[in-house]
Amino acid sequence: MDADKDNILEASARHPKPAGNFQYGTAGFRMKANLLDSVVFRVGLLAVLRSKKLNGQTIGLMITASHNPPEDNGVKLVDPMGEMLEQTWETHATTLANAPSDEALFAAFAKLSSDLKVRMDSPARVIFARDTRASGITLAASLVDALDALKAEYTDYKLQTTPQLHYLVRAINTKGTPHAYGEVSEKGYYEKIADGFKLAMKHRQTKGHVVVDCANGVGGPKLREMTKYLASANEGGIDIKVVCDDVVNPQALNVQCGADFVKTQQRAPPSSKASPLERCASLDGDADRLVYYFIDSSNTFHLLDGDRIATLTASFFADLGRASGLIDRLNMGVVQTAYANGASTRYITENLQLPVICTNTGVKHLHHAATRFDIGVYFEANGHGTVIFSAKAIKEINRHEPRSPAQADALETMKSLVALINQAVGDALSDLLLVEVILAHKNWGVQEWLNTYVDLPNRLVRVEVRDRGIFKAVDAERKLEAPLNIQKEIDDLVGKYSKGRSFARASGTEDAVRVYAEAATRGEADELAAKVAAIVQKYGV
Ligand code: G16
């Protein structure tokens, strides 16, 4: 520890902590990039501790602020199976990030390693990557300083989507085991997904092309790369038209395009040249979210968001379960958050007859809840999600003997989807191909997909307040327990609207409170959202 002490103190002096209090939030630390130098350095120290604690398993570290504006950045840790950092360790990250001096940082580090019984002579392995933000390179250097100080082994995977980094972590830690996830390389990632896609598309064809807006982020070059592994539509593949892929100008990231813009604004990016019924999709800045949209023949915009992807996927797996004969052996369910449109929840429970679990915002919560099912479909309305399969599901799918050609066909599709779907985390590129496979199997276009149910009109509003920390949510974030009396005011208001539902919660990635409202008509949903936002504003001054 003495050598570590000297090294940490010396290196930490190069990364002084600015004023302010930092918190490991919904998706790690996220803030203005110029405040992040010490935070990234300290998260690097924690990554080393985490890897040592897990006997040298590889820990991932992603430098990204995903959907946030270009001047922001962030950092989050990825656990060995490609899942988000175990929650108890988020507190440790916050503790290190807030240590007021280099000495206090070392003291906190030493206390953690002793409290957590970390063997400091264990090896430490870390891999990291970043999105296209201008600040990413400098922040990666701060991280390397921490890894060098503790003599950790590391690999810099440079520019990757967040899900690619998750894939790589899982592939490294499962290499050579019966659960090997795939080849440890970016190429391995594309090959795994593309092989799954090709198998799933045997005897099927996509209808026309899909236009993909890449939010001017890392998803652009990576999606182009992935298309090299896929044949074109007339050869049984897919035609993907990549747009909004300007990564030369970092200031363009997420601006007037991307999944967050389309979802929150409920309109196409202004640059879109979509013609009626053309299939369009948008990724976010680090390509872990996906939404679809289209305009109809009367030029009306229609959003097919994460709820729509969840319902489409759940209905497809239910079909495959029935067709393969596995339905009674595997339990299936869907996980959503409070942001899920009420109509989607009703469709899943009433039409698909599947259970729904509602969790707090943040894929870490949804992912965890989805493990309760053999086939767990989880999606946030904003487009972040995936499908996970239990060990039992994989075993059943692999060993089931089909009794007819139809059963064999359904089983083969299930197997191919297990390969195609990135089970480590929600992945916009993998989800895009998943949606395309399902639409091709159902022989649907976007209109048929939309016709499955009617969304309740809804509105999402962002309210800036002095201190968002005073807004404390409970009941899967559907209610506020603080400030006192605010929930009663919201409830009284909601009661006045037909099919009204609304809630407010502090964002974990932006300095704001989010307000969601839905009601029977567009006018009422807008009005309810505005009035709840006014209540939040009143309590937030
Ligand atoms: C992150 C999380 C998502 C979450 C979103 C918004 O997404 O990974 O689970 O829905 O932030 O969270 P909040 O409402 O707390 O700001 P991303 O795509 O920005 O990484």
Task: Give the CATH number of domain 2-159.
Answer: 3.40.120.10
Say how many residues make up the chain. 541
**pLDDT at res. 472:** 97
Considering Cα of 189, then 190, then 193, then 199, what sign does the dihedral take? negative
**pLDDT at res. 422:** 96
Confirm or reject CATH 1.10.3720.10 for domain 458-540, answering yes or no.
no
d(CA 9, CA 112): 16
**pLDDT at res. 513:** 97
**pLDDT at res. 505:** 97
- Under the banding of pLDDT at 50, 70 and 90, the label for residue 232 is confident
Same CATH fold, 193-455 and 2-159?
yes
Mean per-residue pLDDT of the chain: 96
Give the number of the atom of ligand 1 that is nearest the alpha carbon of residue 364. 9
**Protein residue with its CA nearest to atom 4 in ligand 1:** 362
- The string of pLDDT tens digits covering residues 47-62 is 999 999 999 999 999 9
Residue in 312, 360, 313 with CA at minimum distance from that of residue 339: 360
Average pLDDT rounded to a whole number, residues 309-333? 96
Tell me 327's DSSP state. Answer: T
Pocket perturbation via mutation, ligand 1, pick of 26, 90, 166, 261 by most ligand atoms within 8 A of CB: 26
Ligand 1, pocket residues at CB < 6 Å: 26-27, 66-67, 284, 288-289, 361-363, 380, 382, 384, 507-510, 514
- Under the banding of pLDDT at 50, 70 and 90, the label for residue 235 is confident
**pLDDT at res. 90:** 97
Average pLDDT rounded to a whole number, residues 319-325? 96
Average pLDDT rounded to a whole number, residues 419-435? 97
Average pLDDT rounded to a whole number, residues 268-296? 97
Domain boundaries, the chain: 2-159, 193-455, 458-540
**pLDDT at res. 225:** 97
**pLDDT at res. 357:** 98
Average pLDDT rounded to a whole number, residues 122-146? 98
The β-bridge relationship of strands 72-78 and 501-506 is unpaired
Average pLDDT rounded to a whole number, residues 504-527? 96
d(CA 279, CA 60): 34
Q: How far is the CA of 27 from the centre of ligand 1 (A)?
A: 6
% of the chain beyond a pLDDT of 70: 100
**pLDDT at res. 236:** 75
pTM of the predicted model as reported, rounded to 2 decimal places: 0.96
% of the chain beyond a pLDDT of 90: 96
DSSP string, 65-83: -TTS-TTEEEEEEE-TTSP
**pLDDT at res. 278:** 97
Options 3.30.1490.20, 3.40.120.10, 3.40.630.10, 1.10.760.10; CATH for 193-455 is: 3.40.120.10
- Under the banding of pLDDT at 50, 70 and 90, the label for residue 203 is confident
What are residue 529's phi and psi, to 5 degrees?
Answer: -60, -45
The β-bridge relationship of strands 72-78 and 58-63 is antiparallel
pLDDT above 90: residue 234: no
Residues 6+ apart with CB under 8 A from 489: 535
- The string of pLDDT tens digits covering residues 2-55 is 779 999 999 999 999 999 999 998 899 999 999 999 999 999 999 999 999 999
- The string of pLDDT tens digits covering residues 455-509 is 999 999 999 999 999 999 999 999 999 999 999 999 999 999 999 999 999 999 8
- The string of pLDDT tens digits covering residues 434-460 is 999 999 999 999 999 999 999 999 999
Residues classed as catalytic: 66
pLDDT above 90: residue 86: yes
d(CA 255, CA 436): 26
Helix (H) and strand (E) counts for the chain?
18, 19
Pocket perturbation via mutation, ligand 1, pick of 23, 509, 511, 514 by most ligand atoms within 8 A of CB: 509
d(CA 215, CA 504): 27
Give the number of the atom of ligand 1 that is nearest the alpha carbon of residue 30. 19
pLDDT above 90: residue 188: yes
Q: How far is the CA of 371 from the centre of ligand 1 (A)?
A: 20
Binding-site positions for Mg(2+):
66, 284, 286, 288
Give the number of the atom of ligand 1 that is nearest the alpha carbon of residue 286. 18
**pLDDT at res. 473:** 97
